[in-house]
Amino acid sequence: MRRDDGTILSYVTNTNGSTRHITLIDPDKQAPEVASDRACVAVEAGSSMIFVGGSTDTPDEIVHSTCVAIQEGLELRAFAASQSPDGDENMWKVPVVLFPGGSHALSPAADAITFMMLMNSTDRRFLVGEQLRGAPYLDKFGVDALPTGYLVCHPGGKVGEVGSADLLMPSDAGLVKAYSLTAAMYGFSLLYLEAGSGADHPVNPELIASARTTEGLTIIVGGGIRTPKQAKLAADAGADWIVTGTLTEDATDLEDLANKISGICSILNN
């Protein structure tokens, strides 16, 4: 849901030195109404942004209906908060951002998109091909593009395979530095270090610390983060945003989800 103040890009890049949390919702994994409930619980528990995407072959109708349901859920709660003397309407105004597997997974109901170059792909399709197909639609939709360098690190999971990524290994801090400089020189605002959804271990904190030394980039880290301790390690290494997705899908119910997300969000800046 759009805020009244500033652009989505300024919201994402002005973290004021704190680390914030993103809940990733894969539209393929639940009905739109369930996605909406999960997103709203996540925001109440401390998430500051919702990503919608993940799977590589979800049809755009499913992506769209999921974005619509999440936006409606957030708007309803914002309205309810505006009617209550103790309510905080602004807390519900978090951006709903597409995190696409390709140019098929787009929706005009999103506020923005991580417009990504999978920088360590060996396939032109993920460097610029999908982007060429998607750009005219995004232009028509009026969805803000957040220029993002995307780096897939070991173990990489499905995105590493599908994206033909030349995986960054835990010892590749020097190479990550070169990629981060390249991202900055291209004018990207965000750099996303990805271990792959469901990874058995997150991105090595040394890689995060290396990317952090490049000025002008907002660092997003995701893949394999399930515990507050793992999130804290990434935050201390320099992540501006922590993404979790599988954690939401694995929660037994909404209460469990709220506990898991608030556990991560409360430790991030302590």
Positions touching ligand 1GP (CB under 6 A) are: 24, 54, 194, 197-199, 222-225, 243-247
The dihedrals phi and psi of 214, each to the nearest 5 degrees, come to -90, 130
Residue with Cβ nearer ligand 1GP (3 or 201): 201
Residue with Cβ nearer ligand 1GP (78 or 176): 176
With CB atoms as reference, the residue minimizing the distance to ligand 1GP is 222
Residue with Cβ nearer ligand 1GP (147 or 198): 198
- Least Å distance, CB 220 to ligand 1GP, is 8
- Least Å distance, CB 251 to ligand 1GP, is 12
- Least Å distance, CB 110 to ligand 1GP, is 16
* Residue indicated by tokens 């098929």: 104
The helix (H) or strand (E) run that includes residue 157 is helix 157-162
Residue with Cβ nearer ligand 1GP (205 or 224): 224
- Least Å distance, CB 244 to ligand 1GP, is 4
Q: Which of 99, 124, 5 is nearest to 49 (CA)?
A: 99
Residue with Cβ nearer ligand 1GP (8 or 251): 251
- Least Å distance, CB 6 to ligand 1GP, is 26
Contact 219, 176 (CB under 8 A): no
Residue with Cβ nearer ligand 1GP (43 or 195): 195
How far apart are the C-alpha atoms of 230 and 224, rounded to whole Å? 9
- Running DSSP on this structure, what letter comes out for residue 2? -
Q: Which of 191, 39, 176, 7 is nearest to 114 (CA)?
A: 191
DSSP conformation letters of 84-150: STT--GGGG---EEEE-SSTTS--TTSSEEEEEEETTBSSHIIIIIHHHHHHHHHHHHTPEEEEEEE
Contact 154, 170 (CB under 8 A): yes
- Least Å distance, CB 159 to ligand 1GP, is 6
How far apart are the C-alpha atoms of 190 and 14, rounded to whole Å? 11
